[in-house]
C-alpha cells in the first residue's frame, strides 16, 4: 500500500513542477489515491467532512483577519508616524535611516501577520526618505525587503497560525516562541546596516539631529499603533481573548484609529476586504487539501514508510534538520510560505515526532526557513513587492541586497538549533 503513496507523491511533484496550483495538485492526488487505497464512497464522505470542518475552523479565521488588519494599515497609511518617531530616536547613528526602517518593520510586524503588507507599507513610506539622503539603493532595498520578513516571526504571525492549525500546536506558544528569534533577527539586521555604513559612510549617511523635545513629541503620533499592539498581544497573553478574538479586536482597532486620523475611506476598506478574500480562499484551499494529503499518506502507510526509512538510515536529528533545511531552500525558490509549509509539514511532522523534537521549536525552524524563501530568487515575494514600490531599483540589485540577510537567517537557524532555549524559553516560562 505504501507504493500507492509513493506513486502518488511522484505524480504530485510532477503536477507541481508543471505549474498546477498546489491546492488542485494535492487535492486530486489525495482523492484518487484514497479512493484506490480505500473506497470511493468513504472518500466522498471524508471530503465533505474535511471541507466543512476546515471551513468552520475558528482558529483558522484569524489568518484573514490579521491579514485584513495589515492591509488596512497599508491602504490607510497610518504607519507613517511610527517611522517618523523611530527615525527621530535612531537616525543619528551610522545608517540611521536603515536601522530605523528595520526597527519600524519589526514594530509593524507586531501589528500585522503579513510580510508582504509590511514591505509594501514600509517601502512606500521609507523609499522617498532613503532617496533624499542618498542611501545606497541595493543596501536600502535589501534591508526593507528582508526586514519585512520580521512580520512572520514577531507575533501575530500568519505563518505560525497556519503551522499551528496544520499540526494542532498551540498558536499562543508559537507566537511567544517567535519573539526572541524575531528580536535577534532585528538586531542582526540593524548591526549589519550600521556596520556597513560605518565602514563606508557613503552607503548611508548619519541622519539629521533632533532635540529631546522633538523626540518625545514624536511619540505622540504612535499612540494608536502602540495601543493596537498592546491590545492584541496584551489581550492574548493577559487571558482577555483568544488569538482569533484578538484578530477581530485588532481590525476594529485599525478601523477606529484610521477613522480618528481621518484616513479611513470606503475605497481603502473595500480594496483591503477584496484582497483579503483572495488570501482566505487560497489558504483554505491549501489547508483542506493538506489535510486530505495527510490522510492519504497515513492510510497508504507512506508516512510510516518515510519514518521507517529515516530510522533505517540511522540519521541523527541534526542531519535530518540539515536535509530539511536544504529542501526548504530549494522549494523556497519556487513557492511562497504557505505553499512551502503545506508541502513539507505533512511529510516532516511524523519524523519530527520520531526524533522527539519539540513541535513549537520545529514551527519556528520551519517559519524561519520559509522566511528565507520569501527572499530567494527567482520567486522571492518580498523582493517583487519591494520592486513594485521602487521600480527604479533593478531586481538584480535587490536580490543582491537581500543575500546577506539570507545568510543571517541561516545563522539564526544554526543558533536556535544549538541553543533551542532561544525559542522555547519564553513559551515555557509564560505558558505551563
Q: Which is nearer to other proteins, 61 or 184 (CB)?
A: 61
- Under DSSP, the state recorded for 263 is -
Site for other proteins in 193-252 (CB under 8 A): 240-241, 244-245, 247-249, 251-252
Q: Is 429 in the site for other proteins (CB under 8 A)?
A: no
* Residue 163: closest CA among 304, 36, 55, 287: 287
Distance spanning both ends of the chain, measured CA to CA? 41
Q: How far is the CB of 101 from other proteins (least distance, A)?
A: 23
**CB atoms near residue 139 (< 10 Å):** 22
Q: Which is nearer to other proteins, 12 or 105 (CB)?
A: 12
Q: How far is the CB of 32 from other proteins (least distance, A)?
A: 7
Q: Which is nearer to other proteins, 65 or 179 (CB)?
A: 65
Site for other proteins in 280-339 (CB under 8 A): 280-282, 284-286, 289, 333-336, 338-339
Q: Is 378 in the site for other proteins (CB under 8 A)?
A: yes
Q: How far is the CB of 174 from other proteins (least distance, A)?
A: 20
Of 51-59, 125-133, 138-146, 305-313, which part binds other proteins (CB under 8 A)?
Answer: 51-59
Q: Draw the binding track, 67-106, toward other proteins (x: CB under 8 A; -: no contact).
A: -x--------------------------------------
Q: Is 374 in the site for other proteins (CB under 8 A)?
A: no
Q: Is 347 in the site for other proteins (CB under 8 A)?
A: no
> Any idea of the CA torsion for 173, 174, 176, 181, to the nearest 10 degrees?
150
Q: How far is the CB of 161 from other proteins (least distance, A)?
A: 13
DSSP line for 204-229 = S-------HHHHHHHGGGGHHHHHHH
Which residues are within 8 A (CB) of 183 and not within 5 positions of it... i.e. 6 or more apart? 106, 154
Among 3, 58, 223, 431, contact with other proteins (rule: CB under 8 A): 58
Q: How far is CA 271 from CA 67, 71, 279, 365, in A?
A: 13, 9, 13, 33
* Residue 415: closest CA among 185, 142, 195, 107: 185
3-state secondary structure of 238: coil
Q: Is 432 in the site for other proteins (CB under 8 A)?
A: no
* Residue 142: closest CA among 107, 94, 101, 114: 101
Site for other proteins in 21-50 (CB under 8 A): 21-25, 27-28, 31-32, 44-45, 47-48
Among 216, 274, 396, 414, contact with other proteins (rule: CB under 8 A): 274
Q: How far is the CB of 199 from other proteins (least distance, A)?
A: 36
Which residues are within 8 A (CB) of 357 and not within 5 positions of it... i.e. 6 or more apart? 317
Q: Which is nearer to other proteins, 25 or 386 (CB)?
A: 25
- The answer to whether 413 and 325 have CB atoms below 8 angstroms apart is yes
Q: How far is CA 204 from CA 31, 89, 136, 138, in A?
A: 55, 17, 6, 11
Q: How far is the CB of 326 from other proteins (least distance, A)?
A: 18
Q: How far is the CB of 14 from other proteins (least distance, A)?
A: 9
- The answer to whether 393 and 141 have CB atoms below 8 angstroms apart is yes
CA distance 410 to 233: 28
Chain contacts with other proteins (rule: CB under 8 A) = 15-25, 27-28, 31-32, 44-45, 47-48, 51-52, 55-58, 60-61, 64-65, 68, 240-241, 244-245, 247-249, 251-252, 270, 273-274, 276-278, 280-282, 284-286, 289, 333-336, 338-339, 378-379
Amino acid at each position: 500500500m505504501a507504493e500507492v503513496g509513493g506513486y502518488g507523491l511522484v505524480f504530485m511533484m510532477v503536477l507541481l513542477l508543471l505549474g498546477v496550483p498546489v491546492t488542485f495538485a494535492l487535492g486530486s492526488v489525495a482523492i484518487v489515491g484514497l479512493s484506490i487505497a480505500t473506497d470511493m464512497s468513504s472518500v466522498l464522505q471524508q471530503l465533505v467532512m474535511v471541507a466543512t470542518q476546515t471551513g468552520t475552523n475558528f482558529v483558522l479565521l484569524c489568518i484573514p483577519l490579521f491579514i485584513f488588519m495589515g492591509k488596512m494599515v497599508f491602504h490607510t497609511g497610518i504607519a507613517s508616524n511610527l517611522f517618523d518617531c523611530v527615525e527621530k530616536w535612531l537616525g543619528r547613528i551610522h545608517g540611521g535611516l536603515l536601522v530605523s526602517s528595520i526597527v519600524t518593520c519589526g514594530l509593524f510586524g507586531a501589528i500585522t501577520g503579513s510580510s508582504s503588507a509590511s514591505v509594501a507599507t514600509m517601502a512606500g513610506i521609507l523609499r522617498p526618505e532613503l532617496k533624499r539622503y542618498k542611501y545606497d539603493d541595493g543596501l536600502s532595498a535589501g534591508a526593507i525587503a528582508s526586514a519585512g520578513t520580521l512580520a512572520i516571526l514577531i507575533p501575530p504571525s500568519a505563518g505560525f497560525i497556519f503551522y499551528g492549525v496544520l499540526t494542532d500546536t498551540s498558536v499562543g506558544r508559537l507566537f511567544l516562541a517567535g519573539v526572541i528569534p524575531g528580536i535577534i533577527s532585528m538586531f542582526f539586521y540593524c548591526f549589519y546596516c550600521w556596520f556597513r555604513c560605518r565602514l563606508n559612510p557613503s552607503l548611508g549617511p548619519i541622519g539629521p539631529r533632533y532635540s529631546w523635545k522633538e523626540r518625545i513629541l514624536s511619540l505622540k503620533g504612535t499612540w494608536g499603533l502602540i495601543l493596537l499592539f498592546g491590545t492584541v498581544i496584551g489581550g492574548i497573553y493577559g487571558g482577555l481573548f483568544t488569538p482569533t478574538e484578538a484578530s477581530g479586536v485588532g481590525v476594529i482597532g485599525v478601523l477606529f484609529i484610521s477613522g480618528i486620523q481621518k484616513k479611513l475611506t470606503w475605497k481603502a476598506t473595500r480594496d483591503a476586504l477584496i484582497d483579503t478574500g483572495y488570501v482566505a480562499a487560497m489558504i483554505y484551499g491549501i489547508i483542506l487539501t493538506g489535510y486530505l494529503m495527510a490522510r492519504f499518506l497515513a492510510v497508504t502507510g507512506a508516512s510510516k514508510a518515510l519514518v521507517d526509512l529515516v530510522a533505517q538510515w540511522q540519521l541523527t536529528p541534526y542531519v535530518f534538520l540539515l536535509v530539511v533545511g536544504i529542501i526548504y531552500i530549494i522549494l523556497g525558490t519556487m513557492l511562497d510560505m504557505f505553499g512551502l509549509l503545506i508541502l513539507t509539514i505533512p511529510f516532516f511532522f511524523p519524523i519530527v515526532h520520531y526524533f522527539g523534537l519539540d513541535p513549537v521549536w520545529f514551527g519556528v525552524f520551519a517559519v524561519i526557513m520559509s522566511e528565507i524563501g520569501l527572499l530567494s530568487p527567482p520567486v522571492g515575494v518580498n523582493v517583487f513587492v519591494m520592486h513594485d514600490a521602487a521600480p527604479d531599483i533593478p531586481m538584480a540589485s535587490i536580490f543582491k541586497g537581500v543575500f546577506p540577510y539570507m545568510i543571517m537567517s541561516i545563522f539564526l537557524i544554526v543558533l536556535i538549533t544549538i541553543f533551542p532555549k532561544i525559542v522555547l524559553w519564553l513559551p515555557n516560562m509564560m505558558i505551563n
